[in-house]
Amino acid sequence: MTSPHKDVISVLNELIEFSKDGEKGFKTSAEDVKNLELKSYFVQRAGECATAAAELQHQVRALGGDPETSTSVSGDLHRGWVNLKSMLTGKDEEAVLNEVERGEDHALKAYKDALEKLAKLPLAAGSEVIPMVERQYHGVQRNHDQVKALRNAARARS
């Protein structure tokens, strides 16, 4: 890629993979739980991850790049582990929430790392990229906190 924005595009493409991972992870989690409220919550979060990925893809195109369209290998491995663990635990609500929280921990780290990288790139400063990524980061933080609260409530019930 010869675009002057190649480093910014690279960071955004990494976030697209994490957003796609989140979307797929929340969809899988929705399939794994019986609680209808939790299922609905996971479906809603999957939609929010899809929206975040689409927003990032749009920004990559605007910068002249080719946006990522798939999930990450590490996300695929995590989902495989979640599926195996869910089979072994009988898709216990607390176990599913534990794994969703772990996924959100990884997403938070990815967004923190992305913000640090973007802050060092001159072409990102002053553009709409950093505010967009910051806004999405805050959304991931809210997801994480909500999942943690749901997990704690499930733990208290068991």
The CATH number of whichever domain residue 11 belongs to comes to 1.20.1260.10
pLDDT of 75 strictly over 80: no
User: Residues 39-61: pLDDT tens digits?
Assistant: 999 999 999 999 999 999 999 99
The answer to the question of residue 43 being in a domain is yes
Structural tokens at position 68: 């990522």
User: Do the beta carbons of residue 106 and residue 48 sit within 8 Å?
Assistant: no
CA 149, CA 9: separation in Å to the nearest integer?
34
Q: Given this model, what pLDDT does residue 86 score?
A: 52
Structural tokens at position 149: 């609260």
The answer to the question of residue 33 being in a domain is yes
Query: Residue 123 belongs to what domain range?
Result: 6-157
User: Residues 13-44: pLDDT tens digits?
Assistant: 999 999 998 898 899 889 888 899 999 999 99
Tell which wins on pLDDT, 155 or 115. Answer: 115
The answer to the question of residue 131 being in a domain is yes
Q: Name every residue whose Cβ is closer than 8 Å to that of residue 70 and which is 6 or more positions away in sequence.
A: 17, 20
pLDDT of 72 strictly over 90: no
The answer to the question of residue 119 being in a domain is yes
The answer to the question of residue 153 being in a domain is yes
The answer to the question of residue 99 being in a domain is yes
pTM of the full structure: 0.84
The answer to the question of residue 1 being in a domain is no
The answer to the question of residue 24 being in a domain is yes
CA 59, CA 114: separation in Å to the nearest integer?
15
Q: Is the dihedral of CA 110, 115, 71, 13 positive or negative?
A: negative
The total number of structural domains that make up the chain:
1
